[in-house]
Amino acid sequence: MCLNKVIEQLTQALGEENVLTEKEELAAYSFDATADIPKVVPQVVVTPTSTQQVQEVVKIAAKYKMPLYTRGSGTNLSGGTIPLNQGIVMVMVKMNKILEIDAENLTATVQPGVIIQDLNDAVAEYGLIYPPDPGTVATATMGGSVAECSGGLRGLKYGVTKHYVMGLEVVLANGKVMRCGGKTVKNVTAYDMVKLFVGSEGTLGVITEIIVKLIPAPETRKSALAVFRSLDDAAKAITGIIANKVIPATLEIMDNVTIRTVENYARVGLPTDAEAVLLIEVDGIPEVVEKEAEVVARVCRENNGELKLAETAEERDEIWQARRAALPALAQVSPTTVLEDATVPRSKIPDMLKALRHIAEKYQLTIGTFGHAGDGNLHPTILTDENNAEEMKRVHKAVDEIFEVALSLGGTLSGEHGIGIAKQKYLEKEFGEAGIEALKAIKKALDPENILNPGKILKF
């Protein structure tokens, strides 16, 4: 084949140290964080260090019609970086410079390989934060999170990644560089190309530079843990808090399976007989935080919730330790952890939680659910063993049903983890035929040869 030629040209363009060809090295790029997804070993891995090198790679891929899979830290949960048709994996982690922090305009300009936490550490000196904070904030790259439009714990008040991306530099499938958006707060020129690339999962272009919006760090914060004997009460509290015009930064839920698992693992003093706990944090100006915390406390009590307000920093840490322990605790129970991302309108949370309980019973599976209750984004987590073929069949059926229910409740397939390979087959159910056609038209217009991350989101 032409593989040798491709490697030769890649080496010429990027230097030997940025081109990996040994099969042991390649094997390390055959997977990402997604469970229950095929491993595929790419033919070559490249680590460009500049936009120009990215252009070279894209041009070579286009010339030889080699599939090109852009990769950040490979922490996505939808199979987004699996090189399904082999070809080239392009890892962006070496492009990891923070190019500018503009405290006057409240923006930062970064290369795509910058780790989200590193950006946050850098802007903290200016009293600023970059709010999107996925669970992987210490590992995920800015490029990967923009391409995945990731969310996180602060989504309810602060939104997800797309609310913070103001401008992009993108290398298109033909190797040309395009810039869109910028530092202006107002920008309504032509189509919103910035938003188009945010969440495009590497299928429309390669992001090589990102301008993001920063916000002043909240002056203070207050956390509480509320325990509920009934799911309905917990749900009423969620909607009640917001109906009372308090938008917490974080409003998280853990179901009984999760509570019991976390308690068993971390011994943080959670009530194992509770049906649900809510973890709530309000932040902002001290006076407002005080007032909002009171409202939260009142609403929880009115809905039969037992409330524990954190008075000190240590107590606050204890509360969040419980939430942080959720996934680890669940992950330790069984060899394989299938983490889903079904999202419903806030008011439908109790329906969704009940449906999940029913699905777990029906397919005889352990499902622990936790997640961002305030924004309706739940993470039902199936504890299983991928070596058990029979059980995996039931897992797949359960997953199908989870998404069916979510959609029937007016929800969406993904609140933050994207479509990738994992949720491709449900896409038409959400978008409809006309919708899929429109998506395909966009993909064809920008990447006619289907070079960029082929096999993801859309099937051709």
Partner 1 sequence: MACYDSLEKIKAEITKCMKCGNCQAVCPIYKEVMRETGVARGKIQIAKDLLEGRLEHTEKLQEIFNLCLTCKACAANCPSGVRPDKIILATRAAIVRKRGLPLVKRQIFGLMSKPRRFRMGIGMASKLQALGLKKIKDKDLARPRFPIGLDMKRIVRPLAGRPLLSQIPEVSKVPKSRARVAFFTGCMLNYIYTQAGRAVIEVLNANGVDVVTPREQHCCGIPVLVNGDVKTAKEIAKYNLDVFARGNYDAIITHCGSCIGAWVHHYHELLADEPRYGALAKELSAKAFDVSQYLVDKLGMREPLAKLNYTVTYHDPCHMVRGVGISQQPRKVIRNISGVTLKEMKKPDRCCGSAGSFSLSYYELSGKIRDKKVTDILSVNPDIVLTSCGACRMQLEEGLYRAGSDIPVRHVVEVLAEAYAKEGGVTSERKTG
Ligand X SMILES: Cc1cc2nc3c(=O)[nH]c(=O)nc-3n(C[C@H](O)[C@H](O)[C@H](O)COP(=O)(O)OP(=O)(O)OC[C@H]3O[C@@H](n4cnc5c(N)ncnc54)[C@H](O)[C@@H]3O)c2cc1C
Return the range that interacts with partner 1 (CB under 8 A); candidates 88-96, 237-245, 390-398, 418-426.
Answer: 88-96
Residue 384, binding choice from ligand X, partner 1, none, Cβ under 5 to 8 Å by partner class: none
Does residue 335 bind partner 1 (CB under 8 A)?
Answer: yes
Residue with smaller CB distance to partner 1, 265 or 431: 265
CB of 308 or CB of 324, closer to partner 1: 324
175: nearest Cα among 72, 298, 63: 63
Q: Which stretch binds partner 1 (CB under 8 A): 153-161, 199-207, 327-335, 366-374?
A: 327-335
The residue from 42, 48, 67, 74 that contacts partner 1 (CB under 8 A) is 74
Figure out which of the listed residues 166, 207, 331, 398 binds partner 1, where binding follows CB under 8 A: 331
Kindly state the number of chain residues that form the binding site for ligand X, as judged by CB under 6 A: 36
Q: Is 109 in the site for ligand X (CB under 6 A)?
A: no
**Residue 35's binding partner out of ligand X, partner 1, none, with CB under 5 to 8 Å set by partner kind:** partner 1
CA distances from 79 to 309, 338, 426, 453 (A): 39, 12, 15, 11
Nearer to ligand X, 9 or 76 (CB): 76
Of residues 409-428, those binding ligand X (CB under 6 A): 416-417
Q: Which does 411 bind (CB under 5 to 8 A by kind): partner 1, ligand X, none?
A: none
- Contact call for residue 305 and ligand X (CB under 6 A): no
From partner 1, ligand X, none, interface partner of 27 (C-beta below 5 to 8 A by class): partner 1
Min separation Cβ 31 and partner 1, Å: 6
91-130 mask for partner 1 (x: CB under 8 A)? Answer: x-xx--------------------x-x-------------
Asked if 55 touches ligand X (CB under 6 A), the answer is no
Report 140-199 residues binding ligand X (CB under 6 A): 140-141, 143-145, 147-148, 150-152
Task: Tell me the per-residue interface mask from 337 to 376 with ligand X, x by CB under 6 A, - otherwise.
Answer: ----------------------------------------
* Binding stretches for partner 1 (CB under 8 A): 20, 22-25, 27-35, 47, 73-75, 91, 93-94, 115, 117, 136, 138-139, 327-328, 331-332, 335-337, 387
